[in-house]
Amino acid sequence: MKIKELADIVSRDPRFTSGHRMCGGCATPIIVKSVLASTRKPVVVASATGCLEVASTIYPYTSWDVPWIHSAFENAASTISGVEAAYNALKRKGKLKGEIKFVAFGGDGGTYDIGLQALSGALERGHDFVYVCYDNEAYMNTGGQRSSATPFGASATTEPAGKVKPGKEAWRKDLVRICAAHDIPYVAQASVSNLVDLTDKAAKAFEAHGPAVVVVLSTCPTLWGTKPSMTIETARLAVDSCFWPLYEISEGLYKLSYRPAKKIPVAEFMRNQSRFKHLFMPGNEHVIGHIQRRVDEEWVKLLSLCGEKE
């Protein structure tokens, strides 16, 4: 997608409006607006309980200018798949005409963890919908508890760094490959730092014939401990360190979307985040080294899957 095409997308009437109560510097509203603007077709949205739902629909106000359904924490995917099934039934009966797109939004807690069963079932059944995970890497809506998307070494309220443990001691799940294992038409990993790439992938997801999943890194200044003004820059550092590579899997084929001109150390991504500050204290250097080795190994694996050379 070219910059001119992106300018056309962002100039469209917003389907997610200002006035919401998301935290200053939160990346999620940018993600939602970009995704919804990536199709001109009518859209129906389901949103899992979480930061996005709570802050965008404080009664009697709403930021959603599209048909919108609030689902419980665990069932946004099953809700939107039920709506899609009802729509198809009404079309078969001749009671509805035209094309409608269906999209569900969920955070990492409601996707990687609590909602994984509902998402897996919807993907396996083959519903024609898009699932977007705004991944801020913990249960941010309820106080920063660790999720299975929380990075190794990060401090979370339910797995704090201290004298015994240097933060979370498990590696994050690879949600993109988990979804791809369902043999669905389209899966992608994107970042708020590259809106051209994000909108391009969202457009592909909407046009896929069947389930599509887009996982987007969503910077959280409040609980990552970064400055609100650094939202995009923090996400960019995640991409350029290959902590969060940009790629897509279309009909089972891996394709790298972006390759840093110069791969930076993962410490540069972590340095200005309070959730990692303990790792920069004397005695924890080996943890950063451990994380760097894992990032390097995963990057080499991804290049191989994409048919790229180091």
Type of residue at 32? V
160: in domain:
yes
Residue-number span of the structural domain to which 170 is assigned: 3-305
Q: Is residue 187 part of a domain?
A: yes
Number of domains the chain contains? 1
Exposed, middle or buried by CB within 10 Å (0-12, 13-18, 19+), for 222? middle
Output phi, psi for 283, to 5 deg.
100, -15
Task: Give a yes or no: residue 209 inside a domain.
Answer: yes
Alpha-carbon span 1 to 13, nearest angstrom: 20
Cα-Cα-Cα-Cα torsion 85, 87, 92, 94, nearest 10 degrees, comes to 160
- Beta-carbon neighbour count of residue 224 at 10 Å? 23
- Looking at residue 145, its pLDDT comes to 96
To which residue do tokens 């369902």 refer?
182
Sign of the alpha-carbon dihedral angle for 12, 13, 14, 18 = positive
Q: For tokens 């660790």, name the residue.
A: 146
* Binned average pLDDT, 10 residues per bin, the chain of 310 residues: 69 86 95 94 96 94 96 95 97 94 97 97 98 97 95 96 92 97 98 95 97 98 96 98 98 97 97 96 94 98 94
Q: So what's the pLDDT on residue 2? A: 64
Q: Is residue 80 part of a domain?
A: yes
Q: Where are the beta strands (DSSP E) in the chain?
A: 43-48, 68-71, 101-107, 130-135, 186-191, 212-217, 247-250, 253-256
| Residue whose C-alpha is closest to residue 85's, from 133, 46, 40 | 46
Q: Which residues of 56-91 are buried (b: 16+ CB within 10 A; e: fewer)?
A: bbeeeeebbeeebebbebbbbbbbbbbbbeebeeee
Question: Does residue 310 fall inside a structural domain?
Answer: no
Those residues with Cβ within 8 angstroms of residue 136's Cβ, 6 or more apart along the chain or in another chain = 27, 28, 51, 107, 108, 218, 219, 220, 223, 224
pLDDT of 1: 60
Give a yes or no: residue 108 inside a domain: yes
Q: What tokens appear for 254 in the block?
A: 């891996």
Q: Which two tokens stand for residue 148?
A: 């299975």
Exposed / middle / buried, residue 153 (Cβ in 10 Å: 0-12, 13-18, 19+): buried
Q: Which two tokens stand for residue 76?
A: 């946004």
pTM listed for this prediction:
0.96
> Residue 64 pairs with which residues in a beta bridge?
16
pLDDT, residue 4, reads 67
Measure the CA–CA gap between 215 and 205, rounded to whole angstroms: 11
- Answer yes or no: is 229 within a domain: yes
- CATH number, domain with residue 61: 3.40.50.970
